[in-house]
Amino acid sequence: MLRAFVLLLYICQYGALLQDFQEYNGVADWAQPVPLPQGGGWYHYSGDVRAAVRVKDDVDAVQIRLIWRRRDPTPEKINVEIVNPYVLGPVKVKNVVCQEVTRESMTVVFQPEFGPGEYHIYYTPYSGQGGTGLWVHVEYDPYTVNADKTWLNTYVNNGKWKSLPQAEFIQFQSRTSFGRFGPMEFIALKSEVASLLAQYPTSAYFLFPETVSMP
């Protein structure tokens, strides 16, 4: 019983501990989206979370690494959609491909076909059936690549994507406060776990006291 209590405290507190990171790490950069011009709202059916990024130059391909700390076991199986929020519609970007997808992070390579500016990366798009305002059955869309083969061969294949310019990360966003991921929903990076264990090599377990404000 005591072991279970200690384990529960460790799990709860470790999520809160991650809030101490102030740099971009997939935890401290969550926010509800700011109002956008016409056509710049939330893209329907693309999920409740997204990453806002900015492309500075007029180029044919960019990359962005998102440290998302996913708790689901197979994020590589879920589709990713990119939208330009300032084009009336809004309009999806066609040439998109994901690289090195893990529970810790993902690198997205895409063509900013609408030029420099802000783009939104939706990484939990779903499809479902419902009625009377309620979803009866919802499934995440499976990962698919519809990018042009010539674009892939020019900018992505054979590791070419690694030398592409970087897009600028703005923040993770949620459609509503209810859909926002909380600290307990973020996993610890392997490097963070290793660092913690290295600091206390002889410890059999860890005990983290916490306040009741975020159980």
Domains: count for the chain? 1
pLDDT at 155 over 70: yes
pLDDT at 164 over 60: yes
Q: How far is CA 15 from CA 64, 183, 195, in A?
A: 25, 5, 16
| Residue 3 located in a structural domain | no
Outline where DSSP puts E strands in the chain: 30-31, 49-55, 62-66, 81-84, 91-92, 96-99, 106-110, 117-122, 126-131, 134-140, 168-174
Strands 117-122, 81-84: pairing is antiparallel
pLDDT at 11 over 80: no
Name the more confident of 8 and 129: 129
Write the CB contacts of 11 (distance below 8 Å, at least 6 apart in sequence).
Answer: 184
| Residue 122 located in a structural domain | yes
First to last CA, the chain: 19
pLDDT tens digits along 112-146: 999 999 999 999 998 876 655 566 678 899 999 99
| Residue 210 located in a structural domain | no
**Residue 39 in 3-state DSSP?**
coil
pTM of the model: 0.78
Strands 168-174, 30-31: pairing is parallel
Residue range 18-43: mean pLDDT, rounded? 48
Structural domain range at position 178: 23-187
**Residue 185 in 3-state DSSP?**
helix
Report the chain's mean pLDDT, rounded to a whole number.
80
| Residue 195 located in a structural domain | no
pLDDT tens digits along 173-189: 888 777 788 777 889 99
Tokens of 33: 């989206």
Q: Are 46 and 122 in contact (CB under 8 A)?
A: yes
**Number of H helices and number of E strands within the chain?**
3, 11
The CA distance from 20 to 112, in Å, is: 33
| Residue 117 located in a structural domain | yes
| Residue 17 located in a structural domain | no
| Residue 32 located in a structural domain | yes
| Residue 200 located in a structural domain | no
The CA distance from 166 to 179, in Å, is: 28
pLDDT class of 5 with cuts at 50, 70, 90: very low
